Chains A and B, each alone.
Chain A
Amino acid sequence: MLGLNGKDFLAWLFVLFLVAAAPILLNPFPEGSAFAQFNAGYPDLMQRFVIFGIFAIGFNILFGLTGYLSFGHAAFLGAGSYAGVWMLKLLTINVIPAIIMSTLVAGLFSLAIGYISLRRSGIYFSILTLAFAQMSFALAASVLTPITGGETGLQTQLGDPRILDAAATGGNIPAPSLFGLEMGHSWKVSVGDWLWTFNAGYYLCAFIMLIAFYIAIRIFRSPFGMMLKAVKSNNQRLGYTGINPRPYTLAAFVISGMYAGLAGGLMVSMDPLAGAERMQWTASGEVVLMTILGGIGTLIGPVLGAGLIKYSENIFSKINDNLLHTWFSFMPDGVENFMVTIVHPFVGKGWHLTLGLMFMLVVIFLPGGLVGGLSGLYKRLFRRGSHAQ
């Protein structure tokens, strides 16, 4: 179906189901119940899941297939964000031109940086990309303030020209929309104690993510994708085989840069504000971690990794002592306090600790990330064949 083989098509359908039903699946606990805190079905977080999913899917095309580890991909996300906001400011509040422009600008930017960085390999390549990204970050925060808004960031304003829409003169700053449908618009459905929020922006992001995921599958299964895997396996041999590895890696670099730009464009389409910190090395590092955590070179791993990190970040950071007390209130007082004391360091402000431990546990017990580790575990348990990808 759709040019995919049966197994891949099923994987794609599975993701389609997940993202389409996410507002329901991610809200398993009734509103107001003790565990409602674990509900992740609110628009802001769901948008982040799929947007970072796109970022990680693209990053995996470079890192997972070719083995080239870029430490600077946040620069493309940032460049895409700025380009997107400028389109929203200058052209129209409709998000489509913004998303397209974000992708294109990031593509050009990654072409320039990739062309230079790919002259080196291994850790030398990683440091070159890191250096370019850190320079972009520093310049965006300082010298390039007229273009980037400096440290306060770039955002849409009332006086923006918006050639196609005509500038808004009064009232609120117009919100990004898709042909009039505001991205912030939500339909709320309440069934019994459950409350589900279906958000327009989320579904736009999810739709684009499905396309991005589909393209990634096609790339993985193409002759081009095979060449990228060969680059990772034995770059030199590829040369003696008559293939020039450089344009292949550059193409992969630009594709992954465009995915990053697309993610940046969607971010500003949901919330029209772009800041320089989006380009910092920690942001580049995050997508590296997402990919490794989920499973390098696997199709679905990066999406899972992105989801897990964003989920932990948002959910664990919001748990406070009061909430802990309600959870453990069924226990005798002494035990209750003890449990709260035990759990306290891992939640709220301490959520980083949980994240760090999670990284360590996954990499120690699940080599190959979530996908690699779990499929290995599955195979060991059920002694299946040895040919799964």
Chain B
Amino acid sequence: MGTALEVKGVNKRFGGLQALNDVNLNVEDGRIHAIIGPNGAGKSTLLNCFVGRLTPDSGSVLFHGKSLLGIQPHQINQAGVSRVFQTPEIFTELTVLENVMIPALAHRDGIFEFNALKPLRKETDIRKAAVDVLEDLGLGDKQEMTAASMSRGDKRRLEMAMGLVQQPKLLLLDEPTAGMSRADTNNTIDVLRHIGDSRGITMIIIEHDMHVVFSLADRISVLAQGTVIVEDVPENIKGNAKVQEAYLGGAH
């Protein structure tokens, strides 16, 4: 099995704060890899380095052998890396369905397509793909709603739908279940597991909810103060002394 994402020696400094300190990470193809760690450990910063929102000061990020650094966010996405944001970044003025059709069109047509005279309603394939994903995530009856008028939890699911509809090779999920009810969280776990199994999508999940992490992850990296302190299979993480120290030490 090959390596999907290879992160080597990534450093990022914000003024006096060393946010990421020599981070190394290997994510294997088709696996679900969780990154956990106390608040401020640099998890979101790390994800930002993968999608072009931040550029590391040094180090390399290779996706199937090709560097993701120094290229535009849309190029990264077109390479097959989709991100689900922690705080929903959706197109609030558009409908739920349109929100999902946009990434679906991007997946099919690339970074730009001049189809100014083609009616949107004739894009039946795109619409079907979007509706399918929305139904998977329990948003089937909310297609025509304006995205702004949805509840917080629904916005998070819409975020996920926008990522999933692209059938990415690598899906980056930043706290996908934060703020969701227990039932919704379990549903999300099922959806992600189903997608991981059936389509073989590689995933990186940042998550605080250990229930989610241990239900899904094949491997876990523990990040503390910008450094990966442990990387192992879930069974070995639970009892790890370093991990407990990182959480307890970071909790006061």
Is B49 among interface residues, defined by CB-CB distance under 8 A?
no
Checking A215, A218, A233, A242 against B94 with a beta-carbon cut-off of 8 angstroms, the contacting residue is A233
A219 & B117 in contact (Cβ 8 Å cutoff): yes
Stretch in B1-9, B14-22, B96-104, B184-192 with 4+ CB within 8 Å of A: B96-104
Is A332 among interface residues, defined by CB-CB distance under 8 A?
no
Stretch in B106-114, B197-205, B206-214, B237-245 with 4+ CB within 8 Å of A: B106-114
CB within 8 Å for A222 and B74 given contacts A229-B93, A233-B93, A242-B106: no
B83 & A221 in contact (Cβ 8 Å cutoff): no
Within 8 A of A (CB), among B80-132: 82-83, 85, 89-94, 98, 101-103, 105-107, 109-121, 123, 126
A237 & B119 in contact (Cβ 8 Å cutoff): no
Per DSSP, chain B at the interface is loop
Within 8 A of B (CB), among A241-295: 241-244, 247-248, 251, 255
B-chain residues with CB within 8 Å of residue A234 when the two chains form the complex: 89-92
Is A127 among interface residues, defined by CB-CB distance under 8 A?
no
Is A365 among interface residues, defined by CB-CB distance under 8 A?
no
Is A230 among interface residues, defined by CB-CB distance under 8 A?
yes
Category for how many chain A residues contact B: 20 to 34
Leading 6 A-B pairs by shortest Cβ distance: A242-B77, A242-B106, A239-B73, A244-B111, A233-B91, A224-B116
B-chain residues with CB within 8 Å of residue A4 when the two chains form the complex: 119
Is A72 among interface residues, defined by CB-CB distance under 8 A?
no
| Size of the chain B interface, CB-CB below 8 angstroms | 42
Closest to A5 in B: B121
A-chain residues with CB within 8 Å of residue B166 when the two chains form the complex: 241-242
B-chain residues with CB within 8 Å of residue A230 when the two chains form the complex: 91, 94, 98, 102
Interface centre among A222, A227, A240 (most CB of B within 10 A): A240
CB within 8 Å for A229 and B91 given contacts A242-B166, A244-B111: yes
Interface centre among A221, A227, A242 (most CB of B within 10 A): A242
- B156 CB to nearest A CB, Å: 15
B51 & A240 in contact (Cβ 8 Å cutoff): yes
Closest to B116 in A: A224
Is B162 among interface residues, defined by CB-CB distance under 8 A?
yes
A222 & B111 in contact (Cβ 8 Å cutoff): no
CB within 8 Å for A223 and B90 given contacts A242-B106, A243-B74: no
A-chain residues with CB within 8 Å of residue B74 when the two chains form the complex: 238-244
Interface centre among A5, A233, A387 (most CB of B within 10 A): A233
Checking A221, A232, A241, A247 against B120 with a beta-carbon cut-off of 8 angstroms, the contacting residue is A221
Q: How far is the CA of A227 from the CA of B108 in the complex (A)?
A: 14
B-chain residues with CB within 8 Å of residue A248 when the two chains form the complex: 112
Closest to A218 in B: B117
> Can you list 5 A-B pairs, Cβ within 8 angstroms, ordered by A?
A223-B101, A229-B98, A233-B91, A240-B83, A243-B74
